[in-house]
Homo-oligomer: A and B are copies of this chain.
């Protein structure tokens, strides 16, 4: 396919870079904010994911020979290409921890680097973080409604091409237990699972032969797919026969799987048949167009399903296909910068910044983050960014800084974590969040405020910029 070299970017990054290189701006230090404007799924929070992949790729980013040859052919200057031959990202990155709960319109990550480095990594950064955060958030919503039931990613076949690779990783950071995706399981050390397709049953002359052959060949974690012909008249009764044969060999059938029809009804009826046969230990797995709403509904109906296999809606984030994350200039060559907009709510914030999560004395989130200058260690009072009469005193609250230096001079400072650790961290952060931010319908809005120092500078810049135009 392709490697992640520095041409995994938009052409305009390179066009701008050549101009910066040739007009002497190339060493201008710049600061960019990564943030998003809108939560996906009409939800109340998002789960930040993709950081480790991003840092690993940035740390090793370069233009290879094929890249340079291609750029030469498309008309970039020889001097600039010589610069690109030695290109290496040498900047710093400040970021929220992977797995943390994040909200719109406040920096999730800040990059400081020379302007060329900062631009070249923009596309890559947005591409990886927007997508993994979308999927981790989707996975987290399913985890929240599923309690301790087993959640499996079955999505590779419906994923957006090789996007499925990172979808699987993000699903695990958001709380899924395992995947059917072998290459992702291999590279990210994820529990892998999968047993049989309808085609397996069909390839035999009858269902019981197919089941028997499978149970003999793969007795460990054996799951029989019972809906190829008729779930309750043939699939489940045949699975029961095989489970009894397995018992005679000292083995246990792990589960049956339902993949069509009314899952609540079939799960209940199957459970009855299994229990009547003394197979209380045989679990029920279900799949087929699941998402957080369907899982919630199935459990509200007390469908006795132990394992959910989720495909399309997990790995593509359906119905939201993208997080709208952006990357905005906050400082250039030592000067603070903003981007104006017709809508005040879209004006960006200047400077190197810190984001504080406001908590009460028992460590619970109170429903607000405050943004200050990076030089501020605490914020005394925070102001609504666009409604000047609204403010909130913060003296009596704990303030947890969310942005940590994760890369310095191009070297990652983050120790490798298991995905399970990231998922556990995410769950612990969600536990600090009051329940009204986690509900699906009209969740409470997690507030944001800015410090008076940041507000003053921002307002001064707005005035200056309006005179410019």
**Which residues of chain A in 211-235 are interfacial with respect to chain B, using CB atoms and an 8 Å cutoff?**
213-214, 216-218, 220, 228-230, 233-234
A18: min CB distance to chain B, Å: 6
A93: min CB distance to chain B, Å: 17
Question: What are the residues of chain B within 8 A of A110 when measuring CB–CB?
Answer: none
Q: Would A160 and B203 count as touching, CB distance under 8 A?
A: no
Contact with B along A353-382 (1 / 0, CB 8 A): 000000000000000000000000000000
Q: Would B161 and A213 count as touching, CB distance under 8 A?
A: no
Question: What are the residues of chain B within 8 A of A193 when measuring CB–CB?
Answer: 11
Q: How far is the CA of A162 from the CA of B124 in the complex (A)?
A: 10
Q: A161-B167, A163-B160 are in contact. Are A194 and B25 (CB under 8 A)?
A: no
Q: How far is the CA of A35 from the CA of B15 in the complex (A)?
A: 42
Residue among B10, B126, B203 making CB contact with A25, cutoff 8 Å:
B203
**Which residues of chain A in 1-59 are interfacial with respect to chain B, using CB atoms and an 8 Å cutoff?**
1-5, 7-16, 18-19, 22-23, 25, 28, 30, 32
Q: Would A228 and B342 count as touching, CB distance under 8 A?
A: no
Q: How far is the CA of A319 from the CA of B321 in the complex (A)?
A: 7
Is A251 an interface residue when CB atoms closer than 8 A count as contact?
no
Q: How far is the CA of A412 from the CA of B156 in the complex (A)?
A: 25
Most chain-B CB neighbours within 10 Å: which of A127, A198, A329?
A127
Q: How far is the CA of A192 from the CA of B76 in the complex (A)?
A: 13
Q: How far is the CA of A232 from the CA of B22 in the complex (A)?
A: 30
Q: How far is the CA of A213 from the CA of B16 in the complex (A)?
A: 10
Interface-side segment among A128-136, A416-424, A430-438: A128-136
Most chain-B CB neighbours within 10 Å: which of A156, A157, A220, A338?
A157
Is A137 an interface residue when CB atoms closer than 8 A count as contact?
no
Is A159 an interface residue when CB atoms closer than 8 A count as contact?
yes
> Closest residue to A21 on the B side, CB-wise?
B217
Contact with B along A424-448 (1 / 0, CB 8 A): 0000000000000000000000000
Most chain-B CB neighbours within 10 Å: which of A115, A130, A217, A329?
A217
Q: A126-B157, A161-B166, A229-B465 are in contact. Are A195 and B316 (CB under 8 A)?
A: no
A167: min CB distance to chain B, Å: 7
Q: Would B186 and A337 count as touching, CB distance under 8 A?
A: no
Question: What are the residues of chain B within 8 A of A162 when measuring CB–CB?
Answer: 1-2, 127, 161-163, 165-166
A365: min CB distance to chain B, Å: 29
Residue among B32, B233, B321 making CB contact with A469, cutoff 8 Å:
B233
Q: How far is the CA of A67 from the CA of B183 in the complex (A)?
A: 8
Question: What are the residues of chain B within 8 A of A157 when measuring CB–CB?
Answer: 10, 122-123, 126-127, 130
Question: What are the residues of chain B within 8 A of A100 when measuring CB–CB?
Answer: none
Is A345 an interface residue when CB atoms closer than 8 A count as contact?
no
**Which residues of chain A in 85-138 are interfacial with respect to chain B, using CB atoms and an 8 Å cutoff?**
115, 119, 122-123, 126-128, 130-132
10 smallest beta-carbon distances between A and B, as pairs: A11-B194, A163-B163, A12-B194, A160-B163, A229-B469, A316-B321, A19-B217, A230-B469, A126-B157, A160-B160
The contact sample of 24 A-B pairs, CB cut-off 8 A, is A1-B1, A1-B165, A8-B156, A8-B182, A10-B181, A11-B181, A11-B185, A11-B193, A14-B194, A15-B194, A18-B218, A74-B192, A160-B160, A160-B317, A161-B163, A198-B328, A198-B339, A228-B339, A229-B465, A234-B468, A234-B469, A312-B322, A316-B322, A321-B321
Query: Chain A interface (Cβ within 8 Å of chain B)?
Result: 1-5, 7-16, 18-19, 22-23, 25, 28, 30, 32, 66-67, 70, 74-75, 115, 119, 122-123, 126-128, 130-132, 154, 156-167, 180-183, 185-187, 192-200, 202-203, 205-207, 213-214, 216-218, 220, 228-230, 233-234, 260-261, 312, 316-319, 321-322, 324, 327-329, 332-333, 335, 337-342, 465, 468-469
